[in-house]
């Protein structure tokens, strides 16, 4: 048992209604876990439904923890959700608790997470991610201008997608890296057809051209385009990533420590990528992934996602902005180096 265990959910409205190829939203929920032991408090989080907070409270609040071994609590949590189903809410709940336990361990040892794991690079490359299908052409262009690596959403209308990709290329110039994410909106043949048009604009990354559940479809497209195919953000467990890679579905695997059972799960995914010679790219939650990106060899870059950058820059004391296309963890602060500004979170989430 910890000295104190606290879980909160804050639903923060977006600036405007946003959409991608297959979803629309007007808010993002941050689920925050604080675990105190021996006078130090670890902070972990996930972006999930507020049911995740209720799940954590109900199933993990009385977890036996060894603050020096997040892995022991991780395996206890995995065992505890056996009959409930590991994917989805349960995995996100485990992720937030696992992250808080790693943060706690770092604070007890007074080291940043990257130092505890052992750095392999001083900074991790980032790409600016947003470019929602709900944005006007002007908004798209001004959001990305000046960035050397960007990712935009496509998938609502194939003609408009081509025009928008052309407009973003114009805004970022010929040398910047341009990625697209269809969030599974296209059919196999349409995706292939779009890939040809996108390749002409120098697009080098095509994320979820078809549903990430269609592994055969991903492979079909991957084998027929020079553009790299990426997927994996809905991976909640190691077996999912293993199956995806074994199917030849991706050139680059994506994983999200706030979904794939935390820091512990992300490290396992990284080892899998290393053994299969597949690069890994982290999905969203930049404050968590900055440390992992600097400590794990297979990580190529980090997704600097608009909604999460906005929330973390407003609500996380110690948030480090990306500079010159890189995220550099603050080595003067222990753990992830961020603390939730609870009062501000309560105020922004409203009643
Ligand atoms: Mg995506």
* Per-residue pLDDT reduced to its tens digit, 227-278: 999 999 999 999 999 999 999 999 999 999 999 999 999 999 999 999 999 9
**Is 182 found in the same domain as 312?**
yes
- Taking the C-alpha atoms of residue 96 and residue 113, their distance in angstroms, rounded to an integer, is 15
Structural domains of the chain, count: 2
Phi, psi values for residue 98, rounded to 5°: -60, -45
Name the percent of the chain lying above pLDDT 70. 100
- Taking the C-alpha atoms of residue 289 and residue 259, their distance in angstroms, rounded to an integer, is 12
* Per-residue pLDDT reduced to its tens digit, 118-151: 999 999 999 999 999 999 999 999 999 999 999 9
Q: Is the pLDDT assigned to residue 1 strictly greater than 70?
A: no
CA of 184 to the centre of ligand 1 (A): 9
How does DSSP assign 66-82, residue by residue?
-TT-HHHHHHHHHHHTT
**Is 16 found in the same domain as 105?**
yes
- Rounded to the nearest 10°, the torsion over CA 300, 45, 29, 126 is -20
The 10 Å Cβ neighbour count of residue 270 is 22
Compute CA 322 distance to the chain's CA centroid, rounded to the nearest angstrom.
15
HSE-CB at 26 with a 13 A cutoff on CA atoms is 2
Q: Yes or no: say if 254 and 229 are a contact pair by the CB < 8 Å rule.
A: no
**Is 201 found in the same domain as 268?**
yes
**Is 44 found in the same domain as 126?**
no
**Is 48 found in the same domain as 8?**
yes
| pLDDT at position 225 | 98
CA of 90 to the centre of ligand 1 (A): 21
CATH number reported for the structural domain that contains residue 100 in this entry: 3.30.390.10
CATH number reported for the structural domain that contains residue 146 in this entry: 3.20.20.120
Region 177-205: mean pLDDT is 98
Name the percent of the chain lying above pLDDT 90. 99
pTM of the model: 0.98
**Is 163 found in the same domain as 141?**
yes
**Is 150 found in the same domain as 70?**
no
* Per-residue pLDDT reduced to its tens digit, 83-114: 999 999 999 999 999 999 999 999 999 999 99
**Is 120 found in the same domain as 103?**
no
**Is 217 found in the same domain as 163?**
yes
CA of 173 to the centre of ligand 1 (A): 23
**Is 162 found in the same domain as 283?**
yes
**Is 138 found in the same domain as 96?**
no
Q: Yes or no: say if 339 and 319 are a contact pair by the CB < 8 Å rule.
A: no
**Is 199 found in the same domain as 52?**
no
CA of 22 to the centre of ligand 1 (A): 11
Residue 296 sits in which domain range? 115-340
- Taking the C-alpha atoms of residue 289 and residue 302, their distance in angstroms, rounded to an integer, is 7
- Taking the C-alpha atoms of residue 81 and residue 345, their distance in angstroms, rounded to an integer, is 29
CA of 341 to the centre of ligand 1 (A): 28
- Of 285, 310, 287, whose CA–CA distance to 15 is shortest? 310
CA of 108 to the centre of ligand 1 (A): 35
CA of 283 to the centre of ligand 1 (A): 7
- Taking the C-alpha atoms of residue 81 and residue 61, their distance in angstroms, rounded to an integer, is 14
């Amino acid at each position: 048992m910890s000295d104190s265990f606290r879980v909160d959910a804050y639903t923060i409205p977006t600036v405007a209604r946003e959409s991608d190829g297959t979803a629309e939203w007007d808010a993002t929920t941050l689920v925050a876990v604080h675990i105190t032991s021996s006078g130090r408090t670890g902070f972990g989080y996930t972006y999930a439904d507020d049911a995740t907070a209720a799940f954590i409270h109900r199933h993990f609040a009385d977890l036996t923890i060894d603050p020096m071994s997040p892995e022991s609590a991780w395996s206890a949590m995995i065992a505890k959700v056996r009959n409930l189903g590991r994917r989805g809410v349960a995995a996100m709940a485990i992720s937030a608790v696992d992250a808080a336990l790693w943060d706690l361990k770092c604070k007890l040892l007074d080291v940043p997470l990257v130092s505890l794991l052992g750095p392999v690079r001083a900074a991790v490359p980032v790409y600016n991610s947003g470019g929602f299908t709900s944005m006007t052409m002007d908004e798209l262009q001004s959001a990305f201008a000046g960035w050397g690596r960007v990712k935009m959403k496509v998938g609502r209308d194939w003609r408009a997608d081509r025009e928008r990709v052309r407009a973003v290329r114009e805004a970022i110039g010929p040398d910047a890296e341009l990625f697209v994410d269809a969030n599974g909106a296209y059919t196999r043949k349409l995706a292939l057809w779009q890939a040809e048009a996108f390749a002409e604009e120098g697009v080098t990354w095509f994320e979820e051209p078809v549903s990430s559940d269609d592994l055969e479809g991903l492979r079909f497209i991957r084998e027929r385009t020079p553009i790299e195919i990426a997927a994996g953000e809905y991976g909640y467990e190691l077996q999912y990533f293993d199956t995806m890679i074994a199917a030849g579905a991706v050139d680059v695997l994506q994983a999200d420590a706030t979904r794939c059972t935390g820091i512990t799960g992300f490290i396992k995914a990284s080892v899998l990528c290393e053994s299969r010679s597949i690069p890994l790219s982290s999905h969203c939650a930049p404050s968590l992934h900055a440390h992992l990106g600097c400590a794990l060899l297979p990580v190529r870059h980090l997704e600097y996602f608009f909604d999460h950058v906005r929330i973390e820059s407003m609500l996380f004391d110690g948030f480090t902005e990306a500079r010159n296309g890189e995220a550099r963890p603050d080595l003067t602060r222990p753990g992830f180096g961020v603390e939730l500004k609870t009062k501000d979170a309560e105020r922004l989430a409203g009643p």
